């Protein structure tokens, strides 16, 4: 099974592609999409759409795991902004007939690290260990995306 994890955002969208077979996870690709800060919103969204579309075309994932929308009462605008990035990713799943799964960061961190309140840095460390990659080569956004993919394999395994 090929899983594409996406941690959406307009400043930075992390992605990670993992091949999962016989309880073994293998990293295929990970990175961060960082549109230019001063670009108009339509250009930022267009860049995310284009690159995620290429990832889907190149890897043909069985499932795309997207971080669930989280709105903090102190930062309500953040949820609206993240919704733009999530929207184009959901649209791509519809257009390209890719199964979409949404998971909360807390549930993913619990599945991957054993602690739902693990920090981004702790999560990055565990993700790097599990995938046998150099921690320094992963951005926080890419490691969050990979955590989504890894968490999916853990959560689906428990449910199925």
Please give the positions annotated as active site: 7, 67, 141
Pairing of strands 63-67, 24-33: unpaired
Give the span between the Cα atoms of 114 and 123, in whole angstroms.
Answer: 10
- Report whether 69 contacts 83 (CB < 8 A): yes
Give the span between the Cα atoms of 51 and 9, in whole angstroms.
Answer: 13
Rg over alpha carbons for the chain, rounded to the nearest Å, is: 15
Residue 101 class from Cβ within 10 Å (0-12 exposed, 13-18 middle, 19+ buried)?
Answer: middle
């Amino acid at each position: 099974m090929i899983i594409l994890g996406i941690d959406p955002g307009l400043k930075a969208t992390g992605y990670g592609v993992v091949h999962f077979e016989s309880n073994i996870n293998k990293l295929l690709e990970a990175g961060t999409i960082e549109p230019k800060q001063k670009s108009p919103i339509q250009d930022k969204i267009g860049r995310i759409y284009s690159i995620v579309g290429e990832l889907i075309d190149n890897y043909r994932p069985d499932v795309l795991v997207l971080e669930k929308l989280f709105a903090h009462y102190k930062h309500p605008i953040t949820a609206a902004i993240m919704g733009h990035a999530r929207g184009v990713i959901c649209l791509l799943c519809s257009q390209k007939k890719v199964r979409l799964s949404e998971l909360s960061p807390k549930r993913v961190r619990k599945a991957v690290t054993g602690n739902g309140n693990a920090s981004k840095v702790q999560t990055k460390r565990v993700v790097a260990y599990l995938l046998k990659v150099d921690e320094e080569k992963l951005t926080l956004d890419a490691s969050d995306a990979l955590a989504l993919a890894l968490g999916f394999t853990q959560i689906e395994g428990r449910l199925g």
